[in-house]
Amino acid sequence: MKNVLLLLLLFALCACVWPRSSQQDPGSEAPDESPGTGWTHFDDYTRLLVQPPDSELLMPVRGVRVRQVTDTFMAPRPGGRLHEGQDIFAPRGTPIYSATEGLIIRMGYGQLGGLYVMVLGPGGRRYYYAHLDQHADGLQVGDRVTPQTLLGYVGNTGNARTTPPHLHFGVYGSWWRSDERVVNPLPLLVNRNWQTLEALEENSSNP
């Protein structure tokens, strides 16, 4: 039984992080190719994959309330694409934090998403943060993240050049769940206590 579980975890690891140009549908807003993290963080992957997916996601954009987000999940987009996520509008340079714990498995620049970060979270779900103005200093593939981790800043890179600055927040389901290839993040989003986060940041900067 233990060998079977290990084999399943190995397959899950390959599906989550091995770069494949066919991993995303032609109309997907997620990046088509990126370096991946290889096998360096196997323990982190297995720990995340055996956990259940998060039932709640903390608002990733600083100062924004969930009620301010207009539901545009699966709305039509140019070229026959569908909008695989939610757009969270905020002034350029607004900080973006991870909505969950996890591991950065991809980051870089994509034609559609511009500057992006992809986080592997509990249960094998992948969280896609796109159109960033810039990444957080020192952020790199393989970093462990928590909801207090700064990922980057709101922008309009990629195919969002003609729109106001915003975060495109996408959630992609576990590879073994055919019923949740793409997940609407809006019903999962909950408001964050930004004052608590600011206090944590202040304490960490003044040891």
Average pLDDT over the chain reads 82
- Higher per-residue confidence, 175 vs 108: 108
CATH number reported for the structural domain that contains residue 153 in this entry: 2.70.70.10
Number of domains in the chain: 1
Q: Indicate the pLDDT class of residue 96, thresholds 50, 70 and 90.
A: very high
Write out pLDDT tens, residues 11-37.
Answer: 554 444 433 333 343 345 665 444 455
User: Which residues, 6 or more positions from 156, have their beta carbon under 8 angstroms from its beta carbon?
Assistant: 92, 114, 131, 133, 163, 164, 165, 166
Measured CA to CA, the distance from residue 162 to residue 180 in angstroms comes to 31
User: Which residues, 6 or more positions from 6, have their beta carbon under 8 angstroms from its beta carbon?
Assistant: none
Measured CA to CA, the distance from residue 53 to residue 173 in angstroms comes to 9
Q: Indicate the pLDDT class of residue 80, thresholds 50, 70 and 90.
A: confident
Write out pLDDT tens, residues 25-68.
Answer: 334 566 544 445 555 678 888 899 899 999 999 999 999 999 99
Write out pLDDT tens, residues 127-158.
Answer: 999 999 999 999 999 999 999 999 999 999 99
pLDDT value at residue 25: 37
Read off the pTM.
Answer: 0.81
Q: Which domain holds residue 164?
A: 2-205
Buried b (16+ CB within 10 A) or exposed e, 48-82: bbeeebbeebbbbbbebebeebeeebeeeeeeebe
- Per the CB < 8 A criterion, the answer to whether 96 and 167 are in contact is yes
**Cβ-based neighbour number of residue 101 at 10 Å:** 18
Measured CA to CA, the distance from residue 135 to residue 129 in angstroms comes to 10
